[in-house]
Structure 1
Amino acid sequence: MKKLKSALVASAMVSVLALSGCGEGRGGDATADGDGDGFGADAVIGVALPQQTSENWVLAEDLFNDGLREAGFEPIVQFANAGVIEQQNQIEAMIERGASVIVVGAVDGAQLGTQVEAARAAGATVIAYDRLLTQTPDVDLYVAFDNFQVGVLQGTALLDGLAARKGEGPWNIELIGGSADDANSTPFFEGAMSVLQPKIDDGTLTVVSGQNTFEQVATAGWLADNAQRRMDTVLAGFYADGAELHGILSPNDTLARAALTAVDSAGLDVPVITGQDSEVESVRSIMEGVQFSTIYKDTRALVAETIRQIKLAQQGESFDVNDELDNGVTGVPTFFLPPVIVTQDNAVEVFDGDPILEPVMSEFK
């Protein structure tokens, strides 16, 4: 087990190092020039986070507060639980406080253009955290896990799980998408469909409801209730005649659990279902053989990388980048970390050392 864990960590580190050494990605050349000015060690750093819809966002709050203080900065970390307008107001207040850097985990990445323009005009550096800021040129850096690759891993896991648990195909599946106002949702879906669409085309997979576009399957606000209501409708409309549901593509753990609740209410067998975020309840479900997979995106690593980049800005140095993404207006210099697929087979090894999940794994060792 320790050898496998070491191999996983080594593989991830190699991926990060290899990526950070290149300047080209899906978006083309990626550069981020420092302006040479820098700022003081006691600078105010604003962190604007979205609603507290997953455990990872809650963890990020503590990690940013602790990590920024340890680095000598003065952090302002806030959630926009009331939505876009609250986040707009929070960013404006951070500008008034004289923040040198504003880190934005956007509620809606397309609705903050005025605020980040004002931040840049005031001399602040703008970093998009986890979610891309779109339709604005005023973004200095995007730090995230590779969201398209997350989707690829999810699509691959769904096929692997179907083959392992449901015998030979063809298989009936349904699709769930993330919230349309989250810029991550589209690459999640597109990455998964890059794997699944060929199997739909050749008849290996059938989306029985016919709902196979992102617009049809998106889940407003990433809310579990919205996903469950849609799945209740789909199951009642297309599976009440005895059709079997073999698999569900879910973009995260919260929506996976909502879908499983709908499946249980419909009296159907448990399907193979994917997830993301490695939430405690879903990790337990995986170990119990219910949910098939999740994606591990170590929030500790993402926050640490963001703070490392802030320190580069403090010193007036160029950001480290390994990709560039088109946000609809400009190419945004990007630093991607590699996501990790987790199933029952490798969960103990992957979560070794994680302060939240390792204790859960001890229940299954």
Structure 2
Amino acid sequence: MKTPLFRAIALATVAGVVLAGCGTGREGAAGDEAAGGAEGGFDADARIGVALPDKTSENWVLAGDLFVDDLEEAGFTPDVQYAGGQTPVQDQQAQIEAMISNGAQAIVIGAADTGQLASQVQAAKDAGIQVIAYDRLIQDTENIDYYIAFDNYQVGELQGQALLDGMAERFGEQDSYNIELFSGSPDDSNAPVFFEGAMSVLQEKIDDGTLNVVSGQTELSATATQDWLAENAQERMDNLIQGNYSDGTELHGVLSPNDTLARAILASASDAGLETPVVTGQDSEVESVRSIMAGEQYSTISKDTRLLVAQTVELLQTLQAGEEPADAEPMDNGAAEIPSVLLEPVIVTQENAAEVYADDPNLAPLTE
């Protein structure tokens, strides 16, 4: 399969913040109507709050560690908190409120629930605090200064194309392929963006009969995986197999939005004795990279957390100086056009894994 060149790390050398964007629903130009913007800067040693959603993903754990190191290196005082337990949304709300009370001059938020933070964000803005939505765009509020993430619509496009390419590679050219679709948690604003990006590639093939969703479950609500939990994905996959593939019907591919769910889907297929289907993913988790190199999971997406954290800290330094990043692109969160910094994701398969992860000390040894 032909893959794009690994360009993400090169972005780190660009002076200023690099912008990228494409896809339906993201038209427009940043300007006077865009929400947020620098408001005179803040102290060089300012306290920076970082509110992250959980520790269930290794990338969130890595992000927290990187924020501590990178913020300290930039001269800031980091206050990194994780939501968790039985009430992650309430935990994060309380953590953000504490950051406001403790004198944070900017708060970076990886939302536990993108629709449940409007009051806290309002309180932060009332206190004159800069607010950056990290990785997940907080919805239905004008009080976000910037959003920074990888281009999640493009992530979906890459996943959809990888599913098509992988099935042709693994099962050969056929008139039609049987597939199933999974999407992320309904409380994560990224989940529909991933799904829409993938369906922009897959829908035409579903319509012309090249792809057959045997279960008939093609809507976002039917394919959702609450809380991104592996056990929820595996339970749904078990039910799909029992209801649609126990009679010997072949399953050729499964659209999975991330690596954790991909591994659960593959486990379900293996337990049922099915031939390994092509399964997509995202996040470059260690176990999934191992699976890709073993010829099991077909693909993942590289969204280098090191780069995203570094660019977030660079954005904070820009705002600290009372300046604005160049060429921020607006994204609609339901209440305003939020200036957004979008980095480019990279598809990873067995073919290009060594190249993509060459500079990653954790993943490079897995590709040798």
* TM-score, length basis structure 1: 0.93
**Any idea what SS the aligned residue of 2:81 has?**
strand
Change (3 A) 1:29 1:310: same
Match status 1:309 vs 2:315:
yes
CA contact (8 A) 1:27 1:326 kept: no
Q: CA–CA distance in 1 between the matches of 2:106 and 2:16?
A: 27
Q: CA–CA distance in 1 between the matches of 2:255 and 2:342?
A: 23
Give the counterpart of 2:6 among 5, 8, 13: 8
Letter in 2 for 1:351: Y
Residues 238-257 of structure 1 correspond to what in structure 2 (within 5 A)?
Answer: 238-257=244-263
Q: CA–CA distance in 2 between the matches of 1:10 and 1:112?
A: 30
Deviation at 1:319, TM superposition (A): 2.7
What RMSD in Å do the two structures reach over aligned CA positions? 2.2
Q: CA–CA distance in 2 between the matches of 1:24 and 1:8?
A: 18
Give the counterpart of 1:192 among 187, 198, 209: 198
CA contact (8 A) 1:23 1:29 kept: no
* Residue matched to 1:216: 222
Q: CA–CA distance in 2 between the matches of 1:315 and 1:16?
A: 18
Change (3 A) 1:268 1:23: closer
Percent identity, aligned pairs only, is 59
Change (3 A) 1:36 1:225: closer
Give the counterpart of 2:61 among 52, 58, 61: 58
Change (3 A) 1:89 1:321: farther
Give the counterpart of 2:239 among 208, 211, 233: 233
Change (3 A) 1:307 1:207: same
Match status 1:68 vs 2:71:
yes
**Any idea what SS the aligned residue of 2:227 has?**
helix
CA contact (8 A) 2:162 2:299 kept: yes
Deviation at 1:356, TM superposition (A): 1.5
* Residue matched to 2:42: 39
* Residue matched to 2:103: 98
CA contact (8 A) 1:296 1:340 kept: yes
The structure with more helix, counted as a fraction of residues: 1
Q: What do residues 324-346 of structure 1 show as CA deviations (whole Å, max 9, x unaligned)?
A: 11001111100000000000000
Match status 1:112 vs 2:117:
yes
Letter in 2 for 1:297: K
Give the counterpart of 2:161 among 156, 159, 163: 156
CA contact (8 A) 1:136 1:329 kept: yes
Tell me the number of residue pairs that the alignment of Structure 1 and Structure 2 aligns: 358
Q: What do residues 7-31 of structure 1 show as CA deviations (whole Å, max 9, x unaligned)?
A: 5238964998999478998231124
Change (3 A) 1:322 1:244: same
* Residue matched to 1:29: 29
Give the counterpart of 2:338 among 329, 332, 335: 332
Match status 1:323 vs 2:329:
yes
CA contact (8 A) 1:173 1:247 kept: yes
CA contact (8 A) 1:45 1:100 kept: yes
Change (3 A) 1:321 1:135: same
Match status 1:136 vs 2:134:
no
Letter in 2 for 1:202: D
**Any idea what SS the aligned residue of 2:6 has?**
helix
Deviation at 1:303, TM superposition (A): 0.2
Change (3 A) 1:67 1:265: same
Change (3 A) 1:140 1:24: farther
CA contact (8 A) 2:106 2:130 kept: yes
Letter in 2 for 1:326: D
Residues 157-172 of structure 1 correspond to what in structure 2 (within 5 A)?
Answer: 157-169=162-174, 170-172=176-178
Q: CA–CA distance in 2 between the matches of 1:254 and 1:312?
A: 35
Letter in 2 for 1:186: P
Deviates more, 1:49-58 or 1:102-111: 49-58
Change (3 A) 1:197 1:23: closer
Q: CA–CA distance in 2 between the matches of 1:352 and 1:339?
A: 16
* TM-score, length basis structure 2: 0.93
Change (3 A) 1:22 1:13: closer
CA contact (8 A) 1:23 1:30 kept: no
